[in-house]
A and B are shown apart, each in its own frame.
Chain A
Amino acid sequence: MKHVIWLLAVVACSCTSRSSSSPPPAPSRADVTRTAEPSDVIDEKLMLALSQAKNLHHKAKVYTSDGNVAAAIASVREILSLHFPPNAPEAEDVRNDARALLARLLVGQDQLDEAMNVITEGLAQSQRESFFVANLYTVKGEILEARATALDVDPANKPKVVELRHAAIDAYDASNKIDKKLQDQLSGTP
């Protein structure tokens, strides 16, 4: 019996001494570690997509300077199909900028309807206001102006021409409105 009592005493003392004097244990593997959300950090996927977009833009620039607008249009269209990380805000900005350039190239090819489709798609798919969305409105105004100019050769189209020019003004105004709002936000002006 004495041995049992001694055994219990030893167990109790060892446990008590550990709980009273030992420092808090260091984090072990059993602890749960929560890592940063991968979609919020600048990662390899984002850099790869940006790098590809950068190269495609420069390809389009070279093609344009060589007068090969069709190849330039094809290069810019490739940007729209690049894979960005999910929910990366840069994706929408890069695509909207590509749409603006694509629409301008199409305007230069007299493909006004296709250019307007590109802009309309960009505006519809945008989740937030940005300088790139404002730029889309700017290009939209340019397309509307180009349409008005194309119709202005016939006096019978005068009402349509006026309507298109007013629509162009509205697009420029929308662009300016977004620009001012964002600039105020960035500069901290209420």
Chain B
Amino acid sequence: MPKPTDDERDDLLAGPVPNPDDEPTAAERAHAKTFAELVDKTLSGRTPPAMTTDDRALIEVATVIRAASGNVELAQPRRRALIEDALRQAVGARAFGTSGTMTAVRGIRSLRRAWAPWSVAGASLAVAAAAVVLWLRTPPPRVIVEPTGVATLPETERSRPADAVVGPIAHERAGDAATRIDAIFADRLDGYRELRFGRTP
């Protein structure tokens, strides 16, 4: 099948859009075959060095469509180049210059591999040491007896028998309980006030 000429190509691309049910013309068939060959070459890594702008645009679209459909494997050299670029960006182009090679990246990797266990071990050891030291330094709970404890309270501020307040009860005063309760209440009120509102120096 003869390849379409430039005029035919221009007619095909710039001409009116045919209906979907129309029979393909010879020029269309020739153009489709040529483009199919071009796509096959591109997918097999044999992209022609020169092609028309329209074909290049269509090839790029075809490549994108094929990549979007999945199961696309890059060629080994391309894959390696992409990985090297990614690693170079990750470790920093400044350390190697833009011309860093996979060997340099491998050096960094091996350096990190050598550092990683020591870093983890060292950090773990530091945390463990700090935990042990803190545990040893934690003081045991101390029992603090408040200064107002019963043992240190003056007798006047403690609940106690009322014998010292009333003294012996005379026979003729046996029924005078009102006077005695007055004395007891007054005495305990003094102690209560001292306890609650502070002792006088």
Interface residues of A (CB under 8 A from B): 1, 3-5, 7-8, 11-12, 15, 18-19, 25, 27, 30-37, 39-43, 46-47, 50-51, 53-54, 57-58, 60-61, 85, 88-90, 93-94, 97-98, 100-101, 104-105, 128, 130-132, 134-135, 138-139, 142, 179, 182-183, 186
A46→B184 CA distance, assembly (Å): 11
Contacts of A93 in B (CB 8 A): 161-163, 166, 184
Contact of B181 among A3, A8, A41, A57 (CB under 8 A): A57
Interface string of B111-146 (1 = CB under 8 A from A): 000000011011101100110010001010111111
6 more contacts with CB within 8 A, not counting A53-B181, A54-B178, A97-B180, are A4-B118, A34-B146, A46-B159, A88-B159, A131-B168, A132-B162
A136 to chain B, nearest CB (A): 9
Contact of B188 among A25, A33, A35, A42 (CB under 8 A): A42
A15→B136 CA distance, assembly (Å): 11
A85→B181 CA distance, assembly (Å): 17
Contacts of A139 in B (CB 8 A): 174
Interface of A is mostly: helix
Contact of A138 among B126, B141, B171, B188 (CB under 8 A): B171
On whether A134 and B168 interact (CB within 8 A), knowing A33-B146, A41-B153, A54-B182, the answer reads yes
A85→B159 CA distance, assembly (Å): 10
Check B142–A142 contact: CB distance below 8 A.
no
A51→B191 CA distance, assembly (Å): 14
Contacts of B184 in A (CB 8 A): 50, 90, 93-94
A158→B30 CA distance, assembly (Å): 159
Contacts of B121 in A (CB 8 A): 4
Interface string of B83-106 (1 = CB under 8 A from A): 000000000000000000000000
10 contacts across the A-B interface (CB closer than 8 A): A27-B142, A27-B144, A42-B158, A46-B192, A47-B189, A57-B178, A89-B160, A93-B162, A101-B177, A128-B161
Contacts of A186 in B (CB 8 A): 163-164
Check A57–B142 contact: CB distance below 8 A.
no
Closest A-chain residue to B118, C-beta based?
A: A1
B135 to chain A, nearest CB (A): 11
B35 at the interface (CB under 8 A from A): no
A139→B148 CA distance, assembly (Å): 41
What class of interface size applies to chain B in its complex with A?
35 or more
B162 to chain A, nearest CB (A): 4
Check A18–B126 contact: CB distance below 8 A.
no
Of A30, A100, A130, A131, most buried by chain B (CB within 10 Å of CB) is A131
Number of A-B contacts (CB under 8 A): 162
B81 at the interface (CB under 8 A from A): no
On whether A42 and B191 interact (CB within 8 A), knowing A30-B141, A50-B185, A53-B181, the answer reads yes
Check A35–B126 contact: CB distance below 8 A.
no
Check A135–B178 contact: CB distance below 8 A.
no
Closest B-chain residue to A34, C-beta based?
A: B145
Check B161–A89 contact: CB distance below 8 A.
yes
Check B150–A37 contact: CB distance below 8 A.
yes
Contacts of B143 in A (CB 8 A): 31-32, 34
A46→B129 CA distance, assembly (Å): 56
Contact of A54 among B146, B159, B167, B185 (CB under 8 A): B185
Contacts of B153 in A (CB 8 A): 36, 40-41
On whether A135 and B159 interact (CB within 8 A), knowing A33-B146, A94-B184, A104-B174, the answer reads no
